[in-house]
Structure 1
Amino acid sequence: MTEIDRRTLLAGLPAAAALAAAPAIAATAAPKPVYGAETFRLANGLTGVVIPMRRAPVVAHMVWYRVGGADEPPGLSGMAHFLEHLMFKGTPNIGPGQFSRRVAREGGRDNAFTGHDYTAYFQQVAADRLELVMGMEADRMANILLDPKDIEPERQVILEERLQIVENNPRSRFRERLAASFYLNHPYGRPIIGWEHEIRAIPREALLDFHRRHYGPGNAILVVQGDVTTERVARLAERTYGAVPASTRVERRRPQEPPHDGERRLILRDARVREPSFARLYPAPHAHASVETSDALEVLSHLLGSGPASLMWKALVDTGLAASVSAAYGGDSVDPSEFGLYASPRPGVAPEKLEGALDDLIGRVLQEGVLEAEVARAVREIIAQSAFARDSLMGGARTIGAALAVDLPLDYVEYWPTRIAQVTAERVTEAARAVLRRDASLTGWLVPAEARA
């Protein structure tokens, strides 16, 4: 059970779907779906997805709810993550802690995670145990107890989790402050785990209301991958989830961002830091606005900051200015997102020197554009690096579930290799010029307490 920044999962979503497709796809060849997933729908509103994978008699079973940290009421940050923990505390039919124990007794494993846009629960079990976990998951969809005696101890567990993964980790604190500084109005700026004072204040009644509102079949997506057929999964789903009372889709109503006008800076000093860290965030459109732009930005992020052949590596690492560099784009989200550039200077390198070299690089990209050869290399590498995703029992379930949970269509994942192979240098350059605007950016530095940035 954990909280997961949506960038952690979603920024890599298309790459996870790309698999082993060739970078050059003949114009006359009919595109083939990556997973060959099939869908069905129950009368109570539940959406079902089946991904056949018959290499071994095992299945991955996932339930995705279209609700995450960005859907919490103001003042109650961390509630989606808190509820995720409490979903393991029992129903009238399954005692506290027994859910995971039952899965383990069957030789399986289970867990859950929370993002800004969704919450997901999963089990990996033998194929003949699928109905068991479906019944258990349907039970806690409808009958969660939220016993007061379980809430306070779990609240302390979450506060300790926040202490360990955020407060005791300077870089985690830096990322948290970056998000809070970058998003002026949107709840993506809130930490998924929640602010400490708000975690302490979440009442049981709010948790019950949150579950009642968001944890219905009409707001859920069932994804099963493995040694199954769509007919069998649909039959078992009707027998288990079909017994849950019908519910409707919950409309997301979130505050939106105003225009990002003006360059901003954040400097966080911490005595535990030995070497500085740099980050720059730019407002970026999500895939809903334009799939073509989103694909181009995905290629741009790889071209700029992925590996020794990337432009940032050549400009900063090969020149001795940086120890590491990276870039990330999180466009697979419900609302507009960000494009990020990151670097760690080598010991003794002044922060302004590294930042100046990066500014020079971005300036050249915007002025001169990128080359077709660079884009072709990036596309080949993206697809090659994801070639093993298809062998993962959870790969398809996570990729497709995450896409559907943010309202992207199934074809967005299934035909991603075809689209990414068609990205051109002109499209990447156009996307870079639209997004990499210094006058709308946030630049952040994490530095030692005695340092100046």
Structure 2
Amino acid sequence: MPALPPRALLLSSACLAVLIIQPGPARAQPAPDRGAPAAKPAPAAKAAPALTVLENGLRVVVVERRSAPLAALELRVRAGTAYETPENNGVAHFLEHVLFKGTTTRKRGEVDAEVESVGGELTAETGKDWARFATVVPASAWRKTLHVLADVVQNPALRPEDIDVERQVILDEMASADTDPTRAPYGAVASVAFPAEHPYRLSLYGPEANVRRLKRDDLLAFWRARYTPGNMTLIAVGDVRRDDIVGAARALFPVPTPPATAAPASAPAAVELPDPGPISGAAARAAPLYRDRSLTTVVLAFRAPSVREWADAVALDVLLNILATGGQGRFHEALVRKEGLALAVSADYLTQRAPGILTLTAIGPGASAPALEAALLREVRRLRQDGVTDDEVDQGRRALIGQILFDEETFSGQANSLGFYDAIDSFEFAARYRERVAAVTTQDVARVIGQYLTPDRYAVATMQPRSAAPPASETAPKVEASR
């Protein structure tokens, strides 16, 4: 996950515990490895990124920075949940788990051992639009590390015994997420905020039945379809030379030879996601979740712009810093500090290839779900009526730019940003993000408030203590957590 998200996400239970013990303003904390939703990294670029597109379609983005003898390597593969179907939902995340377990030339444990031997650590995550594999190593070790990374994504062993081990790991993750006061409601609200045919409705884990059923052939089929050079972007940031990185990539990622099982280089552009359309309002209400928890969580979801609508996306990012980010903002002030109705309030929006959702989350110890929902909607209506001031927008811009500057100090942060945006649009979005934030006006923020925060068109999901369940609902339906 990113080292530091640009704004607060739905608060994890750990963050919530901190807020309960010590109320007050706090900087946004790192998102959990398997949290929901996946964090959007702060776009940033100190040095100009240079793009090379190889003959096989692989995109190679290099940023040469000499401030430290380190190299951040990242590979983004356009292979997230958006490329799944209900029948194989969960396969992208499952495959991400198994890839590290060995290749056709490396036994179980050797992949991690080789990278750790040079001082690095491989990390991976899956999102709606992508899978991410990343590490930071001494600059002198980037060639060896890139060789390992290329082997992992191109020559996976997918051994049945490794698949069975990771199956249980994923089932354990799902059991934990099912009782998490933020991840489970977020998964529930996503399942009703999109039409039935839209892949953003699918959960990252997939249904439990799918996880138990998926076999090697299923993982292999998805790998063959999506893990091709034309669906990948390699990012290198640090004490490296562009020509060296491009040359190594050309050698390690060869052009597929017939009969090609790989998608052509144009595949990313050819896979279009449908516009989900507006949220249907009162009909978009998920079945309540009842768990053995003392807290009540309410998540409201509003339709939000895609990455192609960049002016709206950037203005919404500024707005989130005004509403509820890092234990501060209008909504936090109203529901937490003034009324004491909630322990935490947060706002989040993850930019994606297709229109997604902006979520408002309130968590309270004793408040009823209807009371929290009504309070959030009241603040939305007040925001639409009163608007925002120039000072608020200025503070929102400054806070967001400060987060960007903080994140861009690290090679890994910059690589994460460039990879994130290249997987959904282009790395150039990241390179221009800060100047676009600086240009956001009060009128821009007012426009997106009116267009997206519509109190008659939203989806809602709740998690409540089991004691709040009506007698007929003692056994709550299980909703797959999303991220």
Report the TM-score, using the length of structure 1 for normalisation: 0.88
Alignment partner of 1:387: what SS?
helix
Determine the structure 2 residue equivalent to 1:111: 123
**2:467 is aligned with 1:450:** yes
Q: Which amino acid aligns with 1:426?
A: Q
Which residue of structure 2 lines up, in the alignment, with residue 277 of structure 1? 297
Separation in structure 2 between the aligned mates of residue 171 and residue 422 of structure 1, nearest angstrom = 33
Distance 1:89 1:307, change over 3 A: closer
The separation in 1 between residues aligned to 2:146 and 2:83, in whole angstroms, is: 26
Task: Tell me the secondary structure at the aligned position of residue 125 of structure 1.
Answer: strand
Q: Which residue is equivalent to 2:48?
A: 36
Confirm or deny that 1:234 pairs with 2:246.
Answer: yes
**Contact 1:91 1:144 (C-alpha < 8 Å) held by counterparts:** yes
Do the aligned partners of 1:142 and 1:244 also contact (CA within 8 Å) in 2?
no
For residues 377 and 279 of structure 2, the distance between their equivalents in structure 1, rounded to whole angstroms, comes to: 19
Q: Which of residues 169, 176, 191 is equivalent to 2:187? A: 176
* Structure 2: stretches of 5+ with no match in the other structure: 2-31, 471-483
Give how far 1:411 is off.
Answer: 2.4
Given candidates 323, 338, 342, the residue that maps to 1:304 is 323
SS at match of 2:468: coil
Alignment of 1:339-354 (within 5 A): 339-345=358-364, 347-354=365-372
Match of 1:292 among 290, 296, 311: 311
Q: Is contact 2:290–2:465 with CA below 8 Å preserved after alignment?
A: yes
The Cα offsets for residues 160-201 of structure 1, whole Å up to 9 and x where unpaired, read as 2222x3234354322222221222222212211111101112
Matched residues in 2 for 1:371 and 1:452: separation? 42
AA in 2 matched with 1:120: R
Separation of aligned partners in 2, 1:127 and 1:55: 11
Q: Retained in 2: the 8 A contact 1:170–1:272?
A: no
Counterpart position of 2:177: 166
Displacement, 1:401? 0.1
Confirm or deny: 8 A CA contact 2:418 2:430 kept in the other structure: yes
- 1:328-407 pair list within 5 angstroms: 328-330=348-350, 332-345=351-364, 347-407=365-425
* Contact 2:299–2:360 (8 Å) recurs in 1: yes
Partner of 1:411: 428
3-state SS in 2 of match to 1:265:
coil
For the 8 Å contact 2:38–2:127, the answer to whether it is kept is no
Cα distance between partner residues in 2 of 1:140 and 1:385: 33
Query: SS at 1:124's partner residue?
Result: strand
DSSP-derived class of the 1:274 partner: coil
Contact 2:289 2:463 in 1 (8 A): yes
Paired with 2:379 and 2:414, the residues of 1 have a C-alpha distance of 36
1:435 and 2:459 are equivalent in the alignment: no
Which stretch shifts more, 389-398 or 353-362? 353-362
CA distance in 2, matches of 1:5, 1:325: 17
Is 1:139 matched up with 2:124? Answer: no
- Kindly indicate whether the alpha-carbon contact (under 8 Å) linking 2:327 and 2:344 is maintained by their aligned counterparts in 1: no
Secondary structure at the residue paired with 2:87? Answer: coil
2:290–2:468 CA contact under 8 A, matched in 1: no
**Does the residue aligned with 2:85 lie in a helix, a strand or coil?**
coil
Q: Write the deviation string for residues 263-294 of structure 1: whole angstroms up to 9, x where unpaired.
A: 23335242412121121111111121x21111
Deviation of the 1:137 alpha carbon: 2.3
The answer to whether the 8 Å contact 2:189/2:285 transfers is no
Alignment equivalent of 2:285, drawn from 238, 241, 265:
265
Bigger mean CA offset, 334-343 vs 33-42: 33-42
TM-score by length of 2: 0.83
Provide Cα deviations, 1:249-268, integer angstroms capped at 9, x if missing partner. Answer: 32325455244233233352
CA distance in 2 between partners of 1:343 and 1:55 (Å)? 42
Superposed CA deviations along residues 356-398 of structure 1, whole A, max 9, x for unmatched, are: 3333322122123211111011111111233321222210110
Partner of 1:81: 93
Tell me which of 78, 82, 90 is aligned to 2:102.
90
Residues 231-262 of structure 1: CA distance to partner in whole angstroms, max 9, x if unpaired? 22112222322466584232325455244233
**Contact map agreement 1:303 1:311 (CA 8 A) in 2:** yes
Contact persistence 1:17–1:34 (CA under 8 A): no
| Structure-2 separation of matches of 1:354 and 1:201 | 39
SS of corresponding position for 1:17: coil
What amino acid is aligned across from residue 432 of structure 2 in structure 1? Y
Gapped runs of 5+ residues in structure 1? Answer: 19-32
- Residue 333 (structure 2) pairs with residue 314 (structure 1): yes
Match of 1:124 in 2: 136
1:233/1:433 Cα in 2 relative to 1: closer, same or farther (>3 Å)? Answer: same
Residue 143 of structure 1 and its aligned partner are, at CA, apart by: 2.3
Tell me which amino acid in the other structure corresponds to 2:346: S
- 2:118–2:141 Cα contact (<8 Å) kept: yes
Provide closer, same or farther for how the CA distance between residues 329 and 195 of structure 1 changes in structure 2, counting only shifts above 3 A.
Answer: same
Alpha-carbon spacing, 1:261–1:168, altered in 2? closer, same or farther (3 Å): closer
3-state secondary structure, aligned to 1:49: strand
Range with bigger deviation, 317-326 or 304-313: 304-313
Q: Distance in 2 between matches of 1:308 and 1:259?
A: 30
After alignment, is 119-128 or 262-271 more displaced?
262-271
Count of equivalent residues: 430
CA contact (8 A) 1:46 1:218 kept: yes
**8 A Cα contact 1:112 1:119, kept in partner:** yes
**Deviation for aligned residue 1:5:** 6.3
Confirm whether residue 60 of structure 1 aligns to residue 50 of structure 2: no
Partner-residue secondary structure (3-state), 1:363: helix
CA distance in 2, matches of 1:124, 1:423: 34
